[in-house]
Amino acid sequence: MWPVFLCILGRDIRLALRRRTDVLTTLFFFLIVVSLFPLGVGTEQQTLRLLGPGVVWVAALLASMLALERLFAADYADGTLEQMLLTPQPLFLVVLAKVAAHWVLTGLPLVLIAPLVGLQYHLSETAQFVMVLSLLLGTPVLSLIGAIGAALTLGLRGGGILLSLLILPLYIPVLVYGAGAVSVSDLGFSHTQPYFSLLGAFFLLALFLSPLAAAAALRISTE
Amino acid sequence: MKLFRFSSPATFYPLAGRLIPWFWGLALLLIALGLYWSFFETPDQLGGTNPQKAYYRIIFIHVPAAWMSMWLYLVLVFWSAVGLIFNTRLSFMMAHATAPTGAIFTLIALLTGSFWGRPSWGTWWDWDPRLTSELVLFFLYVGYGALHAAIDEPRRGDRACALLAIVGLVMVPIIFWSINCPDPNQCAALHQRSSLDRIEENILFAMLTMTLGFWMYSFATIFMRVRSLILLREAESTWVREMLERMK
């Protein structure tokens, strides 16, 4: 079973690296959105420190969501997806591999660039550390939940904007606890522990349930 | 099997047609009674030390609408699940027909909540957990409707919407929990107690009558909408043609 997973994961990453702009656009979208906020709300340090966690997390949601449209679209357009649906291997694994590739290409870069963004918002060192950790736990959940929406809206006109309508409300719990963890980290690292427990629980739940739902959605969308 | 007799659009269409006037009648009667009761039989003030004046009577629209908005989402998910399990076309049509009525009740609950919040809290909007939850519910209804509108092919639309509704139901407790308790360090203290146990009898009676009235109204509008959906989808079938022949 794992060869299938690794094969699709490797293939998707290789394809994306051949067309690097796709990966970079998501990353720069994130950077631009985050950099626009101080220009809009004022550059006072105290305000920025207060807004930072929420802004970074909302920008991460949007960036991850924008890239979702591409999750199945190319494979759907050239017929690869149909072949994947026909393979004897469980569709669960195929979807999981594609989601993992999506996270490596869109979530992981955000996690890595987050400390830089934290500097823009004058976040403390603890807060930056917590932000990286919370993004590391939270962005996979975004990719997992998003896969359901991407599968449902496959090949529809206005798919991208429709996808945001379906998926953004479902991102609320990750946003609340992801940004919340960074906000309370000023009180001490120990205060963030329940947040990480909850984010971890979301991750495990999503890891189990969302590939099932996304696989069912793919079958509905392609039949 | 008797249970599935009315799961065929051809048998359900005339049944719904016969039931609709009754549901309209019951809805009007119950809402009229509920409105009379809420204006003339309930106390003019609510609460002890700092009472809410007559404006609290918006509760008789607000609470029933909020209850119906949540109940109808469950109804929608129920029909979606039945449709996916038994592969019955009518179940999906029921789910589609339920969504607009549910969305309207959510909107009414939000608007009346805002009108109520202005005099009692001094603000049109507050990020109170109940208000926020209701707003999220509205977004879920809108998402369902948008997906339905975007898919032209009925079979795919039915099943995709059903799956979305079920995913929504799985997420709803988590979303509402996260809104209710944004800081897990102090969650135990943040449990909102239901205020129903110490409510005045006349207020409860008016509220329940209005809820039943709204429920009957939902039946009436949902059945009217489902009849339109049936005609739209079955326009080419023989029974519709025969029915039209008979009407001439």
Judge: A165–B142 Cβ closer than 8 Å, yes or no.
yes
- Domain containing residue A9: 2-222
User: Does B17 lie at the interface with A, CB-CB under 8 angstroms?
Assistant: no
Judge: A153–B147 Cβ closer than 8 Å, yes or no.
yes
- B193 pLDDT band (50/70/90 cuts)? low
For B37-88, the three-class secondary structure string (H helix, E strand, C coil) is: HHHHCCCCCECCCCCECHHHHHHHHHHHHHHHHHHHHHHHHHHHHHHHHHCC
Judge: A166–B164 Cβ closer than 8 Å, yes or no.
yes
Nearest chain B CA: its distance from A18 CA (Å): 33
Q: Identify which of B150, B178, B185 has the shortest CB distance to residue A162.
A: B150
* Domains in chain A, number: 1
List chain A residues with CB under 8 Å of B170: 209
Report ipTM (2 d.p.). Answer: 0.88
Mean pLDDT in consecutive groups of 10 residues from the start of chain A, 223 residues: 88 90 89 91 86 92 89 88 88 93 92 90 89 93 94 84 90 91 85 89 94 93 85
- Nearest chain A residue to B178, by CA: A173
At residue B2, does pLDDT exceed 80?
no
* Mean predicted lDDT score pLDDT of chain B: 86
- B189 pLDDT band (50/70/90 cuts)? very low
A83 exposed, middle or buried (CB, 10 Å; 0-12, 13-18, 19+)? exposed
Judge: A209–B159 Cβ closer than 8 Å, yes or no.
no
DSSP letters, chain A, are -HHHHHHHHHHHHHHHHHTHHHHHHHHHHHHHHHHHHHHHH---HHHHHHHHHHHHHHHHHHHHHHHHTHHHHHHHHTTHHHHHHHSSS-HHHHHHHHHHHHIIIIIHHHHHHHHHHHHHTT--HHHHHHHHHHHHHHHHHHHHHHHHHHHHTTT-TTHHHHHHHHHGGGGHHHHHHHHHHHHHGGG-GGGGHHHHHHHHHHHHHHHHHHHHHHHHHHHHHH-
Give the pTM: 0.89
At residue B48, does pLDDT exceed 70?
no
